[in-house]
Amino acid sequence: MYYSVRGTLLHTEPGVAVIECGGVGYKCFTTFTTMSKLPAIGGEAMLYTFLHVKEDALDLFGFSDTAELTCFKQLLTVSGVGPKVALAILSDLTPGRLALAVVSGDAKTLTRCQGVGNKTAQRIVLELKDKMKGADIGGDVAVAASASAIPDSNAGEAIAALVVLGYSQSEAAVAVGGLQPDLSVEEMIKRGLGALAGKV
């Protein structure tokens, strides 16, 4: 119903931004990521919106970019994930990091988000993995997807070894994903560790 709202930022509070458009103040629930991109009170703001219809309320959600809006909509398709949990996830993870965690099967990263238990995290990975593989959110997503595709391959074994060493599934998948597939598991682990050490 509403694609976006543009107008004067009237008020903010944690998780909420009020934007006045044509004399009407629209209360938009939003993520901490979007909140950090808003101007000072009185400045012009624009948010891409999603109207969530419930029996007793119409809630408007606003996002600074279409990638965050798309991820929000995808999260809502997962059984057991409502708007509150979807906002919590996107407040902790950028769309790129969320997609990376999903395609690499990294449910552990999702459990760090408020309101997301292990079962919910596993469900998100299971239900969104195919949808996010083709997402144009970041180059690392495609790399992680290809590395995680065959768990019994050398890359899969190297990723498992890096996870045992304390790295997240998504970090390990990105570190190994760009390597030659014919390398030995040991060489993949060695090069993966080198790549991960360079990011510290």
In 3D space, the residue among 84, 61, 42 whose CA is nearest the CA of residue 2 turns out to be 61
**Stretches in the chain below the pLDDT threshold 50:** 138-150, 200
Looking at residue 9, what is its pLDDT? Answer: 96
Looking at residue 175, what is its pLDDT? Answer: 78
Two tokens at 126? Answer: 């299971």
**């990263």: which residue's tokens?**
109
What's the alpha-carbon Rg for the chain, to the nearest Å? 19
Exposed / middle / buried, residue 45 (Cβ in 10 Å: 0-12, 13-18, 19+): buried
In 3D space, the residue among 183, 170, 162 whose CA is nearest the CA of residue 140 turns out to be 170
Looking at residue 65, what is its pLDDT? Answer: 92
Looking at residue 68, what is its pLDDT? Answer: 92
Looking at residue 141, what is its pLDDT? Answer: 47
In order of 15, 42, 55, 158, the CA distances from 192 in angstroms are 38, 48, 51, 8
Looking at residue 50, what is its pLDDT? Answer: 96
DSSP state of 170: H
What domains appear along the chain, each with residue ranges and CATH number? Answer: 4-64 (2.40.50.140), 67-137 (1.10.150.20), 138-200 (no CATH)
pLDDT digits (tens, 9 = 90+) for 120-149: 999 999 999 888 765 555 444 444 444 444
Looking at residue 152, what is its pLDDT? Answer: 57
pTM: 0.71
